[in-house]
Structure 1
């Protein structure tokens, strides 16, 4: 707000209106508020129309967080707060009630009265706090039980007809799992069935292991284990410098391309189909081989 003009200045200006030194604008007397008396930084400097209906006052935001109230009835002694034993031990009565005489008698009596008031206030305050705590615990317990009962009612309520008709198709095992009707502990029949299935699976593994070992034993006779056998197989496959391997029927060609183009997939398939359809020699040979393997118990 601008500083107010002193009375002497106003009186002098009113008395001497002709002098330009003391001529200042005088504020007219009116009931309306003078607009320019507010500074520009004021929120009311610009007039904003307001609704006729009054709005609710905005609640101020309380900063900070209230601390958790401590449990005043938690004590390390075996006496519970609020009991007569605790109150008698906390606010003990005076051992002697003799009336003092002398110059300090009035002050001592005043101290005794104040001590009695403190004992009374302590007992009354503890009892009221205990009553309020019991009431708060009772309200909290009732609220918790009501919420728990509402939750159980919502969980155990039957399925609505519209939900049953509009829900997607789910398998019975998943429905049982969601409903909690699956048996967590297997029965004796299930345990026996699982044991037999496990024994059968182990027997199959043992048979496959023995078959693989026998096949390895039968095929081990063709393994190359010495350098002499390796030299013989190399000479048999590639020949020697004196007697190279021939690629023709007369064993004279030194290149595999002398016999012509290699067989294509179509030619090999047609040859196999022709052999299988025209003669049953290959099929009979394969059957005899399988029969011999079954009789001997291993690969041949």
Structure 2
């Protein structure tokens, strides 16, 4: 890496500067008298916004290129060695090169080639030495910074901090989480709840399997059964073939057949026989008893029975 270019020196401020740069005549002596404050050029800080700072020369435009890292690979430490130089800039091996130069130009070319090889050797070794120096300094700074941080982190509390610290209750400083004394009882209760949920799911699954088994006899398993079921459901007189609704009216749709969903009031009216449906009010006790027995049997056996 070539050394950084020095910053141009500050010239005396005044009108003679521009005239000295753009005039072809001989430069005249300074026009600033000794009693003037501008007679002695005092450089201003970079961030100075004063009028005097604006009178200084503008900084040189441009920037230095970023130097390449020629030792960043694994074999970077091998470059300063002679073997690497012999491979990178080998000596001439032809027969003509081993003979004496036949002219001054040829001798000068050989001399310049040897000079380039020597300059390359010295430059790479100097760059490698500077790299080692920079790495050593960087490691020292990192080690010192790490040691300072570790010392600051493990340093005891200062006396002024201790005396000016706010008071905190001893109970607030206790952040340890003590084990729950009732943890075993809670675990047993949780196990019981989990087993109850698992049992409920198992019973529901068993009821679903039993209901699937009971309804499997009416499943459609071939195209013939499907065609017959479609013809039956989509027949023009399908609703009329179902007879009358529970209210004694002619059935024209599913709402007339099934009616609205039951509510608590409608169920109480069925028990007290005060519904608006004549068939439900005239239903015998035997029919009601059979329906109740069917529901109780399904609940006790855990299975589904055929419709009565």
Give the TM-score of the pair, scaled to structure 2: 0.41
The structure that has the greater radius of gyration is 1
